[in-house]
Amino acid sequence: MRGGAGCGLKQKEGQHVKKLDVRGAKCPIPIIKAKKELDSMTPGEQLEVLSTDPGSVPDFQGWVKVNKKAALTSQRTEKDETGRDVYVHLLERLS
């Protein structure tokens, strides 16, 4: 099942997307781990963050407004194998 803002990934053609699985972690852990991962990436690289915390949706939306090195490309909601909602955030490292 898919839904949420910006359905579908806007993945760049031929670009590898790094994945960060923070399912089970609560705020602020998903943001902290995503920031650490993005800091090690080069501009243009993308990071897909998987979270089960519904608060991660507005958290990432707010975080990219103040973080000059990250853009939120898309967000969507999926179900995992147990039926839990998984919030998928696609981030891009900026300059």
| Strand ranges of the sheet holding 17-21, from the earlier edge strand across to the other edge | 17-21, 46-51, 85-93, 70-79
Report how far apart the first and last C-alpha atoms of the chain are (Å, whole number).
Answer: 34
Of 27, 32, 71, 94, which is the active-site residue?
27
Q: What is the DSSP string of 78-95?
A: EE-TTS-EEEEEEEEE--
DSSP state of 4: S
Catalytic residue at 27? yes
Which residues are marked as active site? 27
